[in-house]
């Protein structure tokens, strides 16, 4: 009769003089196994602690298992020899990480294939249920949230926010809030703070939800908030400006907290231009849709491409009418396949008939192809612009101005073009562009100041470019506003940094246990007033800014990293200031010890004091 218990896979029955014994296959240990007197509990207990059982890891053994896999090895290598130790907690963390990163459903862990894979890979690991995995994922979120809170709390720089709202197909309103900041090591970071449902798309509701999120994360030092051009966002920004000013953490009373999305402005500008050649674009869109609707048509079209000897790797792609960049990609691919479309129309008799029956516009003719070709060349400048400013791994704030200038120059040239269609299209696009980028009162001046802080360009470059793209009256007013804002911004940061230094000196004086009499306290107050008077008299408040603007510009190389440049120069200035503060504190302590307590330092030399003065 076949044994019912699975434990007999690890034991062998033998009849000995002392009775029937169960002998372990791994270590040779024997136990009584009488059918009526002895059960299998003892055998199961032995298997769970058998040292020679391959699955068990001896607890008293200090030897680890070696494995060849990716590890932190010296540069130039991709893998190395490392040790392996079974840890169920680490495996559960890795499992939750996989579910989060790969966006897997929680029930994935209960699949037969995944459980079979885990059983083969690591039989000792007990695969958790979907409820346990959901709890692990939420615990991972809380852990990462605590880490990010600590990073934002220790960060010395201000942060910028981007937010957007939309409605899902289930008619649920959602909002996403993203923070962008530079840490103390001058590294750029992008983190999603919140992704949550909101009650409506009204401005006050959006502003209150953002405020709630900022209070939860403890984020107060806001530089700017980037939103699209919806009217509700203007109301939300006004609400947040009042709250941030109440926190007394805004810059220049929140005058430049509202940053409009450059990509959204470009989208509005190009959408107006698309209306001029809409008929030609629609005809190309319809022929692309006609061919892609049937695998047989697509296969025949590929044969036409080979017969026409068109050497291109681009294939037909259908656009999303509400996204102009996808329309550009569709037109750019279709233009190179124009000869294949003509050949296909000759081989497929249903091509022209079906297109005429569907919309009555038919297939594109030579004029349509010429229109979309010119328009595609024109759209390439906007497409390159969006690719440039869409980056999230590098700083983009100093790139907006260059891209907007290139768009303004392009539109200015096309307005005076001899082509009536392109001239009309450029006029409509320029009108839409000036609605958001032509009025100096509506422009966020931080776009210009970030270029001034780019050591490759500075203030002279910004002044020259403004005079090139704007009217003389508008340019003069805009240049003056940029200078005034730059000085005001520097002054506010200088005052805040001096306040921080004063607080540091106060705290250091509290740590110093040397008592001061009321007379000497009054003297210290008079000294601080004198320092402030001397600073205002000599104009030291702007000396650092003037030095920066008067220095030669940096070389405009392709791989220029603005954060690395500022990291190097900022650390150089910080070390110089730190050494100076250290010397001043040392001298102050010496003077206090000599004058207040009447002590005389024998090592003090009059000549050295005179040299210091």
pLDDT of residue 285: 86
Task: Say if residues 280 and 367 touch (Cβ distance below 8 Å).
Answer: yes
pLDDT of residue 602: 45
Query: Number of helices and strands (H, E) in the chain?
Result: 22, 10
pLDDT grade for 342, boundaries at 50, 70 and 90: confident
Q: What does the pLDDT look like over 155-210, one tens digit per residue?
A: 888 899 999 888 888 889 999 999 999 988 888 999 999 999 998 889 899 999 99
Task: Say if residues 95 and 133 touch (Cβ distance below 8 Å).
Answer: yes
Q: Closest Cα partner for 192 from 251, 141, 135?
A: 141
Has residue 537 got a pLDDT over 70? no
pLDDT of residue 325: 79
Q: Closest Cα partner for 259 from 229, 218, 288, 219?
A: 229
> Which carries the bigger pLDDT value, residue 333 or residue 593?
333
pTM: 0.69
> Which carries the bigger pLDDT value, residue 36 or residue 437?
36
The owner of tokens 């100096």 is: 440
The span from the CA of 94 to the CA of 127, in Å, is 12
Cross-strand pairs, 287: none
Q: Provide the phi-psi class of 81: left if phi over 0, else alpha when psi is between -120 and 50, else beta.
A: beta
Q: What does the pLDDT look like over 457-505, one tens digit per residue?
A: 888 888 888 888 788 888 888 888 888 888 888 888 877 766 655 555 5
Q: Closest Cα partner for 11 from 20, 2, 26, 34?
A: 26
Task: Say if residues 475 and 462 touch (Cβ distance below 8 Å).
Answer: no
The owner of tokens 């940094």 is: 497
Outline where DSSP puts E strands in 240-372: 258-260
Task: Say if residues 126 and 133 touch (Cβ distance below 8 Å).
Answer: no
pLDDT of residue 59: 47
Backbone angles phi and psi of 195, in degrees to 5? -140, 105
Q: Closest Cα partner for 209 from 241, 182, 174?
A: 174
Rg of the Cα trace of the chain? 36
pLDDT of residue 438: 59
> Which carries the bigger pLDDT value, residue 109 or residue 311?
109
| pLDDT (average), residues 24-31 | 88
* Sheet-wide strand order for 173-182: 188-197, 173-182, 159-167, 222-227, 258-260
pLDDT grade for 576, boundaries at 50, 70 and 90: low
């Amino acid at each position: 009769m076949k044994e019912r218990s699975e434990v007999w896979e690890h034991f062998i029955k033998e009849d000995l003089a002392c009775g029937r014994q169960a002998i372990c296959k791994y270590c040779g240990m024997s136990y009584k196994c009488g059918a009526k007197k002895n059960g299998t509990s003892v055998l199961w207990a032995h298997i769970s602690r058998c040292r020679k059982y391959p699955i068990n890891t001896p607890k008293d053994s200090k030897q680890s298992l070696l494995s060849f896999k990716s590890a932190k090895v010296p540069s130039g290598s991709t893998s190395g020899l490392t040790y392996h130790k079974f840890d169920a907690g680490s495996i559960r963390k890795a499992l939750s990480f996989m579910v989060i990163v790969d966006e897997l459903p929680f029930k994935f862990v209960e699949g037969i294939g995944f459980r079979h894979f885990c059983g083969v890979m690591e039989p000792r690991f007990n695969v958790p249920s979907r409820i346990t995995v959901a709890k692990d994922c939420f615990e991972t979120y809380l852990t990462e949230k605590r880490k990010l809170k600590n990073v934002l709390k220790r960060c010395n720089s201000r942060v910028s926010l981007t937010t957007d709202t939309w409605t899902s197909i289930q008619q649920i309103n959602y909002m996403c809030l993203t923070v962008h900041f530079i840490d103390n090591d001058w590294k750029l970071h992008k983190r999603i703070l919140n992704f949550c449902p909101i009650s409506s798309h009204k401005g006050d509701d959006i502003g209150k939800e953002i405020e709630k999120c900022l209070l939860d994360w403890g984020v107060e030092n806001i530089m700017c908030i980037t939103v699209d051009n919806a009217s509700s966002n203007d109301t939300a920004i006004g609400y947040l400006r009042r709250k941030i000013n109440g926190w007394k953490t805004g810059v220049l009373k929140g005058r430049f907290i509202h940053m409009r999305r450059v990509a959204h402005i470009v989208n509005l500008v190009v959408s107006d231009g698309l209306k001029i050649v809409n008929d030609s674009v629609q005809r190309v869109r319809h022929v692309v849709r006609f061919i892609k609707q049937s695998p047989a048509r697509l296969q025949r079209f590929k044969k036409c491409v080979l017969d026409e000897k068109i050497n291109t790797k681009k294939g037909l792609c259908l656009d999303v009418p509400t996204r102009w960049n996808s329309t550009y990609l569709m037109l750019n691919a279709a233009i190179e396949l124009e000869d294949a479309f003509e050949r296909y129309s000759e081989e497929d008799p249903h091509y022209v008939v079906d297109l005429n029956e569907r919309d009555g516009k038919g297939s594109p003719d030579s004029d349509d192809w010429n229109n979309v070709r010119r328009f595609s060349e024109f759209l390439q400048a906007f497409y390159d612009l969006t690719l440039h400013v869409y980056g999230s791994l590098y700083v983009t704030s100093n790139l907006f101005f260059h891209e907007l200038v290139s768009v303004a120059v392009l539109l200015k040239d096309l307005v005076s073009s001899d082509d009536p269609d392109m001239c009309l299209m450029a006029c409509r696009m320029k009108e839409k562009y000036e609605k958001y980028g032509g009025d100096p009162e509506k422009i966020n001046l931080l776009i210009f100041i970030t270029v001034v802080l780019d050591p490759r360009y500075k203030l002279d470059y910004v002044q020259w470019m403004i005079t090139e793209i704007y009217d003389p009256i508008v340019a003069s007013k805009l240049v003056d506003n940029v200078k005034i804002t730059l000085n005001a911004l520097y002054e506010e940061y200088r005052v805040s940094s001096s306040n921080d230094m004063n607080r540091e000196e106060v705290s250091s004086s509290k740590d110093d246990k040397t008592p001061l009499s009321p007379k000497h306290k009054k003297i210290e107050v008079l000294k601080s007033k004198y320092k402030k008077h001397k600073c205002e008299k000599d104009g030291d408040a702007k000396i650092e800014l003037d030095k920066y603007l008067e220095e030669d510009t940096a070389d405009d190389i392709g791989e220029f990293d603005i954060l690395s440049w500022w990291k190097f120069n900022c650390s150089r200035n910080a070390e110089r200031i730190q050494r100076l503060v250290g010397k001043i504190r040392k001298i102050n302590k010496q003077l206090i010890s000599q004058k207040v307590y009447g002590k005389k330092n024998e090592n003090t030399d009059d000549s050295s004091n005179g040299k210091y003065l």
